[in-house]
Structure 1
Amino acid sequence: MIQKSPFKFFLLTLILIALDQGVKLAVHHYMAPGFAGQVKLVGDWLKLHYVLNPGMAFGMQLGHEYGKLLLSVFRLFAMIGIGYYLVNLAHRGAPNGLLWAMAMILAGAVGNVIDSTFYGVFLNNAPYGSPTPWFHGQVIDMIFVDVWEGFIPDWVPAWGGQYYSTPIFNVADSCIFVGVCLILFFQRRFFGDQHVEDHMLPVSGPDPVEASVLPAEEFIEDDQKLQEPESAQNEDEVPTDDIQQETPESVLPDEEKRAE
């Protein structure tokens, strides 16, 4: 495969990060939180609804004093790992579809890392009682697909007996979701070619570098031996004692000729 430059894929990442942060800041400055500032976009099922998410996706949290800090650090390392993996895939010549999907996932990871790292300081939205505003910022969510709301049955672990609605998310979450779905739906196309090429390689065999080459002199001598007549090759093998030499009549003495 031909190596590719990751520049254009990182460019998409930067564009999506800018879009995500622009929407979040606009919602923070121009919308009121909760139902008071809710804006209907498409009927009653697609709305803008400003909420703060102190934890992970869909509002899930780590039940520990430093759970938010651990989550922020994890997001930071995940962002670095995804970026490195994107560069590695580009240098290996991976399909463009896979690289675009990874760029979207990276944009989503970076967007939420920015919220967690800086919003507690610059937007002063860290939860009350946080050890430090750094790495404790709350993620701003605003996209509300209102298709269900109500109380969850009591037998459901963790969330049972509480009132919930369809999760509210943001542009960064959407990028991660779309990128993961693309990889899952097209995994055979993204990884199939590489899988076939790996199976086409020989399992074992001689190393071309270590293969011996017949010297030119020996090759010429062997070729000459093959071209010589068989009779000529066997002349030296016939014993001289078994050869009966005949004397031509022209060399006999005159006396012997007259006697005959």
Structure 2
Amino acid sequence: MPLKYRHVIWIVVLVLVIDQALKFWIKTHMNFNQEFNIFPNWFRIHFIENDGMAYGMKFGGDAGKVVLTLFRLAAVVLGFRYMKKLVTQGYGTGLLICGSLILAGAAGNLIDSMFYGLIFSATNYYEVAKFLPPGGGYGTFLHGNVVDMLYFPIYEGYLPKWVPFKGGDYFIFFRPIFNVADAAISVGVISILVFQKRFFGKHHEKLAAQEQLPVTK
């Protein structure tokens, strides 16, 4: 069954619920930089916050943060319109699911950036954040920090001496800490890059077949 626009909305809502529920739990149950193991040696929950882009990358201080948040807002608004266009034009289920994941991820981090500074107290090393604190949140509108917690240090140790450039250095793979929204964006983008010929090729073949159909009276 072809994916419809309401299905796109449901995918976005599902990812957002998972993303925000986990972030809310982390904010209200863990101190900053606290971690615990899920699977020993390769999967941990490690609570950090960042005021920049995905996977902890920074972008130009307070002014850069506002620009980044407004860019996310514009991307989400335009993303919903573009997804509706893709559905109308009859693109395949795979592309629409990938687009929905990217859109949901952008919306998830946008919520953090827009509202978390207003609704949570500051996170520190000694106590968990409070939801809707009496004195107000730790920041202002558009100045919230993005909550990250998923950490996969699959390999951690010293590299062999024979490894070029980094031989003998302490090395962690995979070092970045991220969240469900980041993961959704990454899965969507990588899948489109890997399967772009299938996603777009099938659509073009479908259009070509429709153009060759005889006109019936």
TM-score range, shorter chain: 0.7 to 0.9
Deviation, 1:147, is 3.5
Deviation, 1:190, is 0.6
Deviation, 1:64, is 4.2
1:174 to 167, 180, 183: 183
Are the aligned partners of 1:107 and 1:172 in contact in 2 as well (CA < 8 Å)? yes
Question: 2:3, 2:55 → 1: CA distance?
Answer: 36
| Counterpart code for 2:23 | K
| Counterpart code for 2:8 | F
Which residue is equivalent to 1:222? none
- Please list the CA deviations of residues 18-69 of structure 1 after superposition, one character each: whole Å capped at 9, or x if unmatched: 11000000011111221xx311011122100000011111222222441100
**Structure with bigger gyration radius:** 1
Deviation, 1:133, is 1.1
Which residue is equivalent to 1:227? none
Q: Which runs of 5+ in 2 are unaligned?
A: 124-138, 158-170
* Identity percentage of aligned residues: 36
| Counterpart code for 1:87 | K
Which residue is equivalent to 1:217? none
Which residue is equivalent to 1:142? 149
| Counterpart code for 1:180 | V
Which residue is equivalent to 2:26? 27
Match of 1:186, SS state, is helix
Question: 1:88, 1:125 → 2: CA distance?
Answer: 41
| Counterpart code for 2:46 | H
| Counterpart code for 1:181 | I
Question: 2:62, 2:25 → 1: CA distance?
Answer: 31
Deviation, 1:194, is 3.1
1:133 has 2:133 as partner: no
| Counterpart code for 2:83 | L
Output aligned runs, 1:93-108, within 5 Å.
Answer: 93-108=90-105
Question: 2:103, 2:203 → 1: CA distance?
Answer: 23
Question: 2:36, 2:43 → 1: CA distance?
Answer: 9
Paired positions, count: 185
Match of 1:18, SS state, is helix
Match of 1:66, SS state, is helix
Output aligned runs, 1:174-253, within 5 Å.
Answer: 174-196=183-205
Are the aligned partners of 2:90 and 2:203 in contact in 1 as well (CA < 8 Å)? no
Question: 1:103, 1:142 → 2: CA distance?
Answer: 22
CA RMSD, Structure 1 to Structure 2 (Å): 2.8
Are the aligned partners of 1:9 and 1:100 in contact in 2 as well (CA < 8 Å)? yes
Deviation, 1:195, is 3.3
1:114 has 2:111 as partner: yes
Question: 2:180, 2:17 → 1: CA distance?
Answer: 10
Are the aligned partners of 2:19 and 2:181 in contact in 1 as well (CA < 8 Å)? yes
Which residue is equivalent to 1:47? 44
Question: 2:115, 2:72 → 1: CA distance?
Answer: 13
Deviation, 1:135, is 0.3
- Please list the CA deviations of residues 169-220 of structure 1 after superposition, one character each: whole Å capped at 9, or x if unmatched: 0000011011112211211111002334667799xxxxx9xxxxxxxxxxxx
Could you tell me the TM-score, scaled by structure 2's length? Answer: 0.76
Question: 2:198, 2:183 → 1: CA distance?
Answer: 23
Could you tell me the TM-score, scaled by structure 1's length? Answer: 0.64
| Counterpart code for 1:166 | R
Which has the higher relative contact order, 1 or 2, with Cα contacts under 8 A spaced 6 or more apart? Answer: 2
